[in-house]
Amino acid sequence: MTGVAVCKYGPPLPPNNTLKNVLIIGDSVSIGYTPVVASIMQSEALVQHAPWGGDGGAEETACVHACSPV
């Protein structure tokens, strides 16, 4: 029996109209380094992590594809 993907929310903030927008898609590892990347790029871009669920992120790549609207 295989699991079912649970689709989670996208990034927590709306896109920025003046800065570039960077979206890091991934799992718990990327949740850890997203704040570092955001800090380094704060004057150039709004860096966010998705899916935003407060846990392990996207789980597996297959879950991201299953939940994508396109």
Give the burial class of 38: count Cβ atoms within 10 A of its Cβ; 0-12 exposed, 13-18 middle, 19 or more buried: middle
The answer to whether residues 57 and 26 touch, using CB atoms and an 8 Å cutoff, is yes
Domain boundaries, the chain: 1-70
pLDDT > 70 in the chain, percent: 60
Q: What pLDDT does 2 receive?
A: 59
Is the link from the previous residue into 51 a cis peptide, with omega within 30 of 0? yes
pTM recorded for the entire structure: 0.69
Q: What pLDDT does 18 receive?
A: 97
Q: Cβ neighbours of residue 17 under 8 Å, at least 6 residues apart?
A: none
pLDDT reading at 54 higher than 80:
no
pLDDT reading at 1 higher than 50:
no
